[in-house]
Amino acid sequence: MGFAKEVKKKLPEIAVSLGITAITAFFASQTVKNFFSNLFVGDEENISIDEVSNYMNNATEEPVPA
């Protein structure tokens, strides 16, 4: 019975700890998800592969004047 009373006393602490852990885990997972989606999908702001290949195809090999 002593153990149950101790656990009952600690329940608010345990609940707060679990809540903080859950919130932290949620935000961490969102951050990781956003990181990977930006990494692999890319945003409109990023340069596309087509733009890079067009630039490379249209680039001339003339020397730059000093």
pLDDT, tens only, 13-65? 989 999 999 999 988 888 887 777 777 665 556 667 777 777 777 766 666 66
Which pLDDT score is estimated for 40? 66
- Indicate if the pLDDT at residue 1 is higher than 80: no
Q: Give the DSSP letter string of the chain.
A: -HHHHHHHHHHHHHHHHHHHHHHHHHHHHHHHHHHHHHHHT--TTSPPHHHHHHHHHH---PPPP-
Q: How far apart are CA 44 and CA 37, in angstroms?
A: 13
Which pLDDT score is estimated for 46? 63
Per-domain residue ranges of the chain: 2-59
Q: pTM above 0.75?
A: no
44 φ/ψ angles, rounded to the nearest 5 degrees: -65, -30
- Indicate if the pLDDT at residue 4 is higher than 80: yes
